[in-house]
A and B are shown apart, each in its own frame.
Chain A
Amino acid sequence: MALPRPSRVYAFAAYEVRRALARKKVLAMVGFIALLDTVPYYILATSGTKIIPLQVYPYLWVAGVLAPFALFMQFVAILIAAGAMSEEYESGTAELLLAKPVSRTEFFLGKFLGGFALLALLILLNALLSVAAATLTYGAQAGLDTLPGVVLVEVYSSALFFSVAFMLGELVRRSSLAYILSSALIVASQIIGTYLSIAYELTGNTFYETIHIYLPTTLAGSLPPQYEQSLLPSAASRLFQLILGPAGGTPSEASAAILVGVYLVVASSVALAYFNWADVARRVN
């Protein structure tokens, strides 16, 4: 089998970015990110509350970078990924694109990488807006040299739900259904994780903790804070307690990274295999 040609993959990736941006829901998410990264800082800074200790002020950018990632950015990931393939079937546009001398793998890779690049840009936007808002409201921020690293870790972690939603979009070929299933996975994983944490706290049984560690929300959500916590001074530790939550075990950085990779490889391989095998749907209504 011939290797995918980079020029074709790039063409589809650029197309996917434009297509995703043309959808109003993605643009709405961009607006929501902007609000989420600026309004809380402004409210906290102007309300006169003293809940934030003074020594945490230089690290408040971390809250803006990490807090939305745990859940909100996962929803952004599935919003982009769930429709990447399925919307092409729904609108009937896949047929025209694939009746050309391009391989299905090139199309698949272009769509996957294009969507993922857009998600990475949104994660970067979230980080930059957080730093800007924290600086404007709480003064100069410290530890910013760790920002590129944590953004990269967030991008990598987001691949978990992105690839799962991408796979579901290809398998069910209906964007709304793929979005509902992916969202249900996030919500179920979050709820099950909470119950497992409580069970572990009450019984001390490590079985509950082990299961909790392997849940997708635990893996995707715990890697960036863990990475960042290891680099920042103890003055910022109060922030991490708030972000990571009080209960439940978290996997080591290495095992979380490996398990995110496993989810990514399995989900994208299943999606690619199915895409290569199945007929190209003419138009799914």
Chain B
Amino acid sequence: MNASVIEFAGAVKLYGEKRIGPVEFSVRRGEIFGFLGPNGSGKTTCIRMLLGLVRPSAGKVKLGGLDPIRNHTEALTGVGYSPELPNIQTFMTPKEVLALAASEIGLKSEVRAETARVLEEVGIIEYGDTKVGKLSKGMVQRLSVAQALIGSPKTLVLDEPMIGLDPAGTAHLREAFREYARNGGTILMSSHMMTEVEDLCSSIALIHGGKLLFRGTAKEMVSQVLGADEIRVEANGLSPAIVDAVRRVEGVLEVTEGADGLDVKVRHGIEARPTIARLITGAGAELLTIREGERMLEKAYIEALRNGIAKA
């Protein structure tokens, strides 16, 4: 049995001279899949091919094992979509938008309850009767996610779902997506927010210039691109001798001194933190924190776009 919910098999889209693809990857049921790439790289085109809005020029795209163009109704059943910068009719209220979405998916009874549920889930229940034209950008973004969640779809396709949200909104949606995935849902989300992707996604793909550069986990991408893990050390009283000793620890590739500590690059897969911690405290310095480096995926992403995966 094929457990792939989403499948791109050499999918290509031509826009005159511009070519997106061939794109080749699949997303298994229950995965939260991060689709990364800079603006104009082809992420949205791939998503639109997946939803049957755009016809591939070559190759195949399958959603739930079906061709989303030929079997649009069947393929899109149980799929929710929230577009990047959602355009929603401004004369409607969120409740009306959701009622229309409910009729599109054939929800007949309990529309009110379902509407209230999804409005609650994205945190805009109190704006249910406000015209969309009077909502803030962040509220519209949440409404877009709400209409994707209506009818409890098994698969969510989210194009930049956190864009325009304030930190509270981001945190709210992040938790909603986690809950959705915990309940067995599959998510494909494109995002520029690497911390969100690193935090949420079980696997990722990177597309650049219309070409798929990478498919794997965030850790694999960091390892493959940067070739090392990073450790952040914050301590008082670090002498040059201690720094030299850290440089000699097995697996340490590079040590950079900063104002309040050290950034240590370590060969991927080696756990050097206990040794470094012992070394620092043993030499009489005061160790404040020692943790994994932050925003590693972001660093790997920028590096990959600059130099390409293979070169990196």
Q: Measuring CB to CB, which residues of chain A are less than 8 angstroms from any residue of chain B?
A: 2, 5, 7-8, 11, 15, 18-19, 22, 91-93, 95-104, 279-280, 282-283
Which among A8, A15, A91, A99 has the highest number of chain B CB atoms within 10 Å? Answer: A99
Pick 25 A–B contacts, CB within 8 A, sort by A: A8-B103, A15-B100, A91-B89, A92-B85, A95-B53, A95-B87, A96-B87, A96-B147, A98-B52, A99-B52, A99-B53, A99-B76, A99-B79, A99-B81, A100-B76, A100-B81, A100-B105, A101-B73, A101-B77, A101-B78, A102-B76, A103-B72, A104-B72, A280-B48, A280-B53
Given A99-B52, A100-B81, output 4 extra A-B contacts at Cβ < 8 Å: A2-B73, A91-B87, A95-B53, A96-B83
Point out the residues of chain B lying under 8 angstroms from A22, CB to CB. Answer: 89, 91
Point out the residues of chain B lying under 8 angstroms from A5, CB to CB. Answer: 106
What sequence of 0s and 1s flags, for each residue 155-190 of chain B, a beta carbon within 8 Å of any chain A beta carbon?
Answer: 001000000000000000000000000000000000
Point out the residues of chain B lying under 8 angstroms from A15, CB to CB. Answer: 100
Closest 5 CB pairs of A and B: A92-B87, A22-B91, A11-B103, A100-B104, A99-B81
Closest chain-B Cβ to A103's Cβ sits at a distance in Å of 5
CB-CB nearest in chain A for B97: A96
Point out the residues of chain B lying under 8 angstroms from A91, CB to CB. Answer: 87, 89
Candidates A7, A96, A280; contact of B103 at CB < 8 Å: A7
Cα-based distance from A12 to B88 in the complex (angstroms): 15
Segment 67-85 of B: residues with Cβ below 8 Å from A: 72-79, 81, 83, 85
Closest chain-A Cβ to B12's Cβ sits at a distance in Å of 14
Contact B51 A99 (CB under 8 A): yes
Closest chain-B Cβ to A130's Cβ sits at a distance in Å of 30
What sequence of 0s and 1s flags, for each residue 12-52 of chain B, a beta carbon within 8 Å of any chain A beta carbon?
Answer: 00000000000000000000000000000000100010011
Closest chain-B Cβ to A203's Cβ sits at a distance in Å of 52
In the complex, B267 has a CB within 8 A of chain A: no
Point out the residues of chain B lying under 8 angstroms from A95, CB to CB. Answer: 48, 53, 83, 87
Q: Measuring CB to CB, which residues of chain B are less than 8 angstroms from any residue of chain A?
A: 44, 48, 51-55, 72-79, 81, 83, 85-89, 91-92, 100-101, 103-106, 144, 147, 157
Closest chain-A Cβ to B159's Cβ sits at a distance in Å of 10
Q: Are A102 and B73 CB-contacts (below 8 A) given A7-B106, A96-B147, A279-B54?
A: yes
Candidates B54, B79, B89, B101; contact of A280 at CB < 8 Å: B54
CB-CB nearest in chain A for B53: A280
Point out the residues of chain A lying under 8 angstroms from B79, CB to CB. Answer: 99, 101
Point out the residues of chain A lying under 8 angstroms from B48, CB to CB. Answer: 95, 279-280, 282
Cα-based distance from A3 to B14 in the complex (angstroms): 31
Contact B54 A101 (CB under 8 A): no
Candidates B52, B74, B88, B104; contact of A93 at CB < 8 Å: B88
Point out the residues of chain A lying under 8 angstroms from B105, CB to CB. Answer: 100-101
CB-CB nearest in chain B for A104: B72
Candidates B77, B81, B104, B144; contact of A8 at CB < 8 Å: B104
Cα-based distance from A5 to B72 in the complex (angstroms): 14
Q: Are A19 and B87 CB-contacts (below 8 A) given A103-B72, A282-B48?
A: no
Closest chain-B Cβ to A135's Cβ sits at a distance in Å of 36
Cα-based distance from A124 to B273 in the complex (angstroms): 81
Point out the residues of chain B lying under 8 angstroms from A102, CB to CB. Answer: 72-73, 76, 104
Contact A11 B100 (CB under 8 A): yes
Closest chain-A Cβ to B206's Cβ sits at a distance in Å of 22
Contact A19 B91 (CB under 8 A): yes
Cα-based distance from A7 to B78 in the complex (angstroms): 18
Cα-based distance from A234 to B64 in the complex (angstroms): 69
Point out the residues of chain A lying under 8 angstroms from B53, CB to CB. Answer: 95, 98-99, 279-280
Point out the residues of chain B lying under 8 angstroms from A7, CB to CB. Answer: 103, 106
Contact A19 B103 (CB under 8 A): no
Cα-based distance from A102 to B106 in the complex (angstroms): 9
Contact B106 A93 (CB under 8 A): no
Closest chain-B Cβ to A225's Cβ sits at a distance in Å of 38
Q: Are A101 and B72 CB-contacts (below 8 A) given A95-B83, A280-B54?
A: yes
Closest chain-B Cβ to A7's Cβ sits at a distance in Å of 7
Cα-based distance from A2 to B72 in the complex (angstroms): 11
Which among B55, B72, B144 has the highest number of chain A CB atoms within 10 Å? Answer: B72
Point out the residues of chain A lying under 8 angstroms from B54, CB to CB. Answer: 279-280
Cα-based distance from A198 to B122 in the complex (angstroms): 68
Contact A279 B55 (CB under 8 A): yes
Contact A96 B91 (CB under 8 A): no
Which among A2, A5, A19, A96 has the highest number of chain B CB atoms within 10 Å? Answer: A96
Which among A93, A279, A280 has the highest number of chain B CB atoms within 10 Å? Answer: A279
Cα-based distance from A283 to B77 in the complex (angstroms): 24
Closest chain-B Cβ to A118's Cβ sits at a distance in Å of 15
Closest chain-B Cβ to A39's Cβ sits at a distance in Å of 30
Q: Are A18 and B87 CB-contacts (below 8 A) given A7-B106, A101-B76, A280-B53?
A: no
CB-CB nearest in chain B for A91: B87
Cα-based distance from A214 to B87 in the complex (angstroms): 42
Point out the residues of chain A lying under 8 angstroms from B83, CB to CB. Answer: 95-96, 99
Cα-based distance from A178 to B44 in the complex (angstroms): 28
Contact B101 A100 (CB under 8 A): yes
CB-CB nearest in chain B for A278: B55
Contact B72 A93 (CB under 8 A): no
